[in-house]
């Protein structure tokens, strides 16, 4: 697709519906992450709006959506409890943004290029599975755990799987089950329905229909079947200001008098590093999902995230990162440009101010159905089949990353996936670096790629197999680098070869390694 076809005017019909879907997904997540982080709920809304408007405007990622991230929950909660005040924490958020801008200027975004594809795909599949497992309780009206929790160990003492088992001992909310089931069936039907080809329905987002249905259905149940009605604890809960003065009291501002507090700087550095890593992981994953295969400038993204965190901290918001759940919803909803991220931020800001009473009528069960459909798209069986077809070197890091993220959290799981993926890279590189062929008294050792210290053992093992009274050819013409440890091993063998009546010939390109390998 040409750049001409990505003009905002030609894509608004795609981006506006996608923005609405992302808004519906982001709303409960902003509130849930704020609740779990021990900050005011409105702080989460501010972060969501800033992530959309500020980061979306400055970033060059076409499909990534930023906002408060569950991966920072523990860090934020610890910081809020340990720092002198919430205003001191906001100062740390501002300084974290400064750190991120510094990282971007240092071109630290290159880190994302070293993450194997199998690990990124594993992260996406793991997020999909977590969405499904975490949203099932909300779909049946069991909301003991907060919306937006993606950690295996939950704040209510349960874990992802024990929570599902515990549901069986609880009294279900029939109205929530009815709404979530109907909504889920509709969403899957809507994606494949021929009705979507009709011009007047082509850009109607299914999640909007689901939310409207959830509100209307619950209001009807209140009047006709009160026993089925969903109570307030199972609905969205946004702070409602009754006046302008009360609304402006919802904002907080950083206290710069704590600028010399070392704890503030430590918190800022921690937030800056972790938020940067999460953002780099997220944009790598979203670029994999992009149907037009565009690439996000990583260093520009770090600068955009830094400016976003400075803005969020100055307004009383919690830290922001690029968030894979919202970004995935953005992609699956057909967004084409970053206009959808910006519009979703505008919707958050406007709707929370203008229609909070309407938003507070949305059943969490309806939003759970939306997130369940997003989760399925991230972890469809075809994804596992494709990885299996690519071989064990792709499948094992992919599955390891999924399992590790499911039982820990995003960053720890990615770290384990990187370790396993790196081990496969080392193993494959180790196996294919040296070719050894024996034909009677003629033996050939050919280096097929650069020789690092990792190949020392294999080289020594092969040289030990060379029998007495033979002709050995060592071919280094295909390698540009030989580690000095390997050079020593080769030279020692050449120096002592005459004791075993072994004649050694070194083949190389003219001028190559003459000053290192003896002949």
pLDDT tens, position by position, 260-312: 999 999 999 999 999 999 999 999 999 999 999 899 999 999 999 999 999 99
- Cα-only R_g, the chain: 28
Of the candidates 375, 406, 372, the residue with the CA atom closest to the CA atom of residue 177: 372
- At 20-63, the pLDDT tens digits run 999 999 999 999 999 889 999 999 999 999 999 999 999 999 99
- pLDDT at 451 exceeding the cut of 90: no
Burial state string for 173-191 with b = 16 or more CB within 10 A and e = fewer than 16: bbbbebbbebbbebbeebe
Distance CA 129, CA 170 (A): 23
- Kindly write down the DSSP assignment for every residue of 397-457, as one continuous string: HHHHHHHHHHHS-HHHHHHHHHHHHHHHHHHHHHHTSEEEEEETTEEEEEE-S-B-GGGHH
- At 97-112, the pLDDT tens digits run 999 999 999 999 988 8
- At 198-218, the pLDDT tens digits run 776 777 889 999 999 999 999
Distance CA 261, CA 95 (A): 12
The β-bridge partners of 506 are 474
Q: Which of 225-234, 267-276, 386-395 has the highest mean pLDDT?
A: 267-276
The better pLDDT of the pair 273, 458 is held by: 273
Measured between alpha carbons, how far is residue 346 from residues 37, 51, 83, 94, 482 in Å?
Answer: 24, 10, 31, 22, 57
Q: Classify domain 432-507 at the CATH superfamily level.
A: STAS domain (3.30.750.24)
The β-bridge partners of 434 are 447
Query: Which tokens go with 491?
Result: 């030279």
Predicted pLDDT of residue 508: 79
- At 482-516, the pLDDT tens digits run 888 888 899 899 999 989 999 999 887 665 554 45
Domain boundaries, the chain: 13-400, 432-507
Q: What is the mean pLDDT of the chain?
A: 90
């Amino acid at each position: 697709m040409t750049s001409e076809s990505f003009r905002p005017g030609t894509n608004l019909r795609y981006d506006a519906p996608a923005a609405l879907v992302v808004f519906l997904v982001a709303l409960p997540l902003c509130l849930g992450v704020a609740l779990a982080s021990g900050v005011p709920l409105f702080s989460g809304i501010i972060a969501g709006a800033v992530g959309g408007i500020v980061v979306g405007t400055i970033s060059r990622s076409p499909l990534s959506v930023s906002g408060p991230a569950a991966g920072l929950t523990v860090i934020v909660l610890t910081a809020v409890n340990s720092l002198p005040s919430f205003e001191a924490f906001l100062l740390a958020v501002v300084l974290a943004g400064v750190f991120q801008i510094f990282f971007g200027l240092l071109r630290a975004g290159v880190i994302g290029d070293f993450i194997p594809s199998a690990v990124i795909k594993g992260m996406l599949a793991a997020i999909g599975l977590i969405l499904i497992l975490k949203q099932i309780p909300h779909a049946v009206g069991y909301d003991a755990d907060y919306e937006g929790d993606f950690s295996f160990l939950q704040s209510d003492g349960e874990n992802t799987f024990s929570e599902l088992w515990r549901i069986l001992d609880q009294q279900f909310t029939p109205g929530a089950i009815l709404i979530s089931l109907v909504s889920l069936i509709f969403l899957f039907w809507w994606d494949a329905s021929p009705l979507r080809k009709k011009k007047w329905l082509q850009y109607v987002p299914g999640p909007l229909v689901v939310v409207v249905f959830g509100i209307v259905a619950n209001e009807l149940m209140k009047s006709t079947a009160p026993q089925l009605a969903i109570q307030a604890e199972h609905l969205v809960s946004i702070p409602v200001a009754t006046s302008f003065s009360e609304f402006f009291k919802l904002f907080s501002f950083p206290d710069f008098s704590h600028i010399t507090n070392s704890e503030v700087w430590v918190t800022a550095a921690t937030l800056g590093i972790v938020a940067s890593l999460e953002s780099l992981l997220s944009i790598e994953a979203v670029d994999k999902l992009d149907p037009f295969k565009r690439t996000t400038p990583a260093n520009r993204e770090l600068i955009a995230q830094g400016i976003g965190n400075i803005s969020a901290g100055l307004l009383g918001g919690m830290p922001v990162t690029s968030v894979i759940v919202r970004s995935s919803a953005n992609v699956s909803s057909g967004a084409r440009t970053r206009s959808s991220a910006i519009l979703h931020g505008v919707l958050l800001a406007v709707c929370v101010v203008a229609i909070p009473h309407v938003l507070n009528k949305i059943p969490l069960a309806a939003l759970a159905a939306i997130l369940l459909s997003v989760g399925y798209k991230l972890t469809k069986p075809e994804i596992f089949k494709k990885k299996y077809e690519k071989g064990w070197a792709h499948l094992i890091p992919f599955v390891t990353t999924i399992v590790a993220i499911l039982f820990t959290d995003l960053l720890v799981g990615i770290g384990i996936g990187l370790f396993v993926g790196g081990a496969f890279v080392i193993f494959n590189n180790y196996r294919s670096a040296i070719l050894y062929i024996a034909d009677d008294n003629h033996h050939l050792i050919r280096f097929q790629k650069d020789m690092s210290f990792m190949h020392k053992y294999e080289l020594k093992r092969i040289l030990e197999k060379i029998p007495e009274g033979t002709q050995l050819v060592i071919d280094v013409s295909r390698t540009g680098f030989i580690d000095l440890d390997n050079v020593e091993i080769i030279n020692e063998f050449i120096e002592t070869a005459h004791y075993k009546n072994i004649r050694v010939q070194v083949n190389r390109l003219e001028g190559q390694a003459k000053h290192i390998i003896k002949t």
